[in-house]
A = this chain, B = another copy of it.
Amino acid sequence: MSKFEFKITNVDGNARTGVLHTAHGDIRTPAFMPVGTAGTVKAMTPEDVKATGSDILLGNTYHLMLRPGAEQVAKLGGLHKFMNWKRPILTDSGGFQVMSLAKLRELSEDGVTFQSHIDGKKYHLTPQRSVEIQHLLGADITMVLDECPKHSQHKKDMAVSMRLSSRWAARSKEAFINRPGYGIFGIVQGNVFKDLREESANDLKKIGFEGYAIGGLAVGERQDEMLTTLDFTIPHLPRNKPRYLMGVGTPSDIVEGVIRGIDMFDCVMPTRSGRTGKGFTPRGEINIRNARHAEDPRQLYDNCKCPVCNNYSRAYLHHLFKANEMLGPMLLTRHNLTYYQDLMHSIRNSISNNDLSGFIKNFYRDQLKGDVERLETEVHH
């Protein structure tokens, strides 16, 4: 079994490339992790997820503990085997989704009691149980259970919540069973408050983790608030450990996170958008349901090498979405994930070549262009 180990290979400003070694293989960083909520990246086979360039995916403890259940997954050989994904998996702790999905939550020092949004069944989730569930699932990277307050709350409440999360982090770490190739990450909380973020980071460093996540962002705040928070939080994180910005984000969020020294991201955006007809391109997002694409024989964007763009026109994708054909979400999800992974690939290359700033200039120049011009034939309709 290989050691769980993070090696930084290149540095460009605060950005860095690296390799995170885990029990199920290496993760090239900066990395984007597709979200495989209920044991599947929606509308994708694992082979196709791999083919987009994904090294690792994220599984949701909350969803899997409700259905089919952690013990059930363990009995079937663990999450990797269950869902036929042979590479690394990071599982979240369930904390975030308990707050956003579950019913009748009751929070205590011990943990959180809630009702399943599926069948109303009652569950009690503690830091120890969350870590146990993630162990049963077989996650390469376990996340500590944290309390995820809403963005709008007061600083005093945020401090109380952050300190509870710190105590839960200590209990999570204690419950974690160390094995070669497996690691546990702490989660910095404290909302947009500098002193709280610093206190949280220091709490976690004292406990000691294989990686440090920044939680409590991408929950409704403006991008500049998020970036300012990164600016004053990251300096308090260990330089030699992976840094993971949870639930982020748009292509621009990712680029800005990388500039500031983030190594890992996850977000439902490419997959969720793919199911609703939004396609990502270097020139921004397009809505494939829009009538302007109905007769457009062009691919989503020039130079995209993904199997979708190689084989299907905008007109065909438009048709699939208009006809509510499952192949529409299947193809657009695949394209979007490829776009995200190509973005990460380009980011890593530019850092390796010490030209992240050049890459970013081009990135924003292209984003500002907007979608390609309409075809002449359509203008005259």
Contacts and interface: CB of A to CB of B under 8 A. Distances in A.
A375 to B, nearest CB: 11
A325 B45 CA distance: 11
Interface string A290-321: 00001101000000000000011101100110
A312 B84 CA distance: 7
Contacts of A343: none
Contacts of A84: 311-312, 316
Contact of A76 (B44, B311, B315, B330): B315
B67 A322 contact: yes
A68 B315 contact: yes
A338 interface: no
Interface stretch (A34-42, A133-141, A350-358): A34-42
Nearest to A72: B295
Count identical subunits in the complex. Answer: 2
B313 A76 contact: yes
A372 interface: no
Interface residues of A, number: 36
Interface in A188-210: none
Contacts of A76: 295, 297, 313, 315-316
Most B CB contacts (10 A, CB to CB) among A43, A295, A311, A319 go to A319
B319 A39 contact: yes
A158 B40 CA distance: 51
A77 interface: yes
A327 B49 CA distance: 12
A83 interface: yes
A257 interface: no
A286 to B, nearest CB: 18
Nearest to A327: B40
A42 to B, nearest CB: 6
Nearest to A83: B316
Contacts of A40: 320, 325, 327
Nearest to A322: B67
Contact of A42 (B82, B319, B327): B327
Contacts of A327: 40, 42-45
B82 A316 contact: yes
B295 A326 contact: no
A239 interface: no
A82 B313 contact: yes
A146 to B, nearest CB: 25
A379 interface: no
Interface of A: 38-40, 42-46, 63, 67-68, 72, 75-77, 82-84, 294-295, 297, 311-313, 315-316, 319-320, 322-323, 325-327, 329-331
6 contacts: A39-B316, A46-B311, A67-B322, A76-B297, A76-B315, A82-B313
Q: Which 10 A-B pairs have the closest CB atoms?
A: A84-B311, A40-B327, A43-B326, A38-B323, A68-B319, A40-B325, A76-B315, A76-B297, A82-B316, A42-B326
Given A39-B320, A44-B327, 6 more contacts: A39-B316, A40-B320, A42-B327, A68-B294, A82-B313, A84-B316
